[in-house]
């Protein structure tokens, strides 16, 4: 049961506004295996389907020729589809009034995964080190001319709903937008989509 780690990096202004890009680049995914994937808004250009409302697509190449997984909306459902449009997972986003509740997802075999915003170790760590967190926020406030983004050093772990005390399938360390998943439990493509939904509400 191997663990794979990856991080999400926001695209730079130059990457976002690149007129030669095949799609508007939004994020880059960097895995611990030194592999880079590219996240662009919209669907692959080869897809023609009026039923699908595009959210984003993950590509293996910057040219947008090798889609890995796409998040689409179909009949009020958020679906992750592979390049052959096979369903990989269904995602359940919390209502906008509950922005702190992590999204949940269900696999085609019926296995559902959910999570709490924090884990017990992250609560203990925050209780011990909150003065450092406060100092970092003050520094950020000064350096950004009075503008700051409120973040918490949370650690969120997704587990099967039927086995809440078992090993996690996906874990997020919010401070660095770093995610770790078990490839024997969930597909990496599902992990990528879940991570992107947590960082940005598409």
Q: Is the dihedral of CA 56, 61, 64, 68 positive or negative?
A: negative
In the predicted model, is pLDDT for residue 87 greater than 80? yes
**pLDDT tens string 37-82:** 999 988 888 887 667 888 999 999 988 889 999 999 988 889 999 9
Query: Which percentage of the chain shows pLDDT scores above 90?
Result: 35
Global confidence as pTM: 0.80
Q: Tell me 129's DSSP state.
A: H
Band of pLDDT at residue 188, cut at 50, 70 and 90: very high
Q: Is the dihedral of CA 89, 181, 97, 54 positive or negative?
A: negative
Query: Which percentage of the chain shows pLDDT scores above 70?
Result: 79
Element (H, E) at 69: strand 67-74
Supply the pLDDT for residue 101.
64
């Amino acid at each position: 049961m191997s663990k794979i780690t990856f991080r999400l990096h926001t695209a730079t202004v130059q990457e976002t506004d690149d007129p030669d890009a095949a799609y508007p680049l939004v994020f880059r995914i960097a895995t611990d295996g030194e592999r880079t994937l590219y996240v662009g808004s919209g669907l692959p250009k080869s897809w023609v389907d009026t039923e699908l409302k595009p959210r984003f697509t993950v590509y293996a190449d910057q040219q947008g020729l090798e889609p890995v997984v796409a998040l689409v909306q179909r009949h009020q459902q958020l679906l992750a589809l592979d390049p052959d449009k096979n369903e990989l997972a269904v995602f359940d986003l919390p209502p906008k009034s509950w922005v702190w509740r992590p999204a949940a997802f269900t696999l085609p075999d019926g296995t559902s995964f959910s999570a709490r915003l924090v884990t017990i170790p992250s609560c203990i760590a925050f209780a011990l080190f909150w003065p450092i967190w406060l100092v970092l926020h003050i520094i950020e406030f000064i350096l950004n001319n009075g503008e700051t983004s409120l973040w918490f050093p949370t650690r969120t772990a997704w587990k099967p709903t039927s086995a809440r005390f078992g090993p996690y399938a996906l874990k997020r360390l919010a401070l660095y937008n770093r995610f770790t998943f078990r490839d024997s439990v969930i597909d990496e493509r599902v992990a990528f989509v879940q991570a992107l939904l947590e960082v940005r509400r598409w």
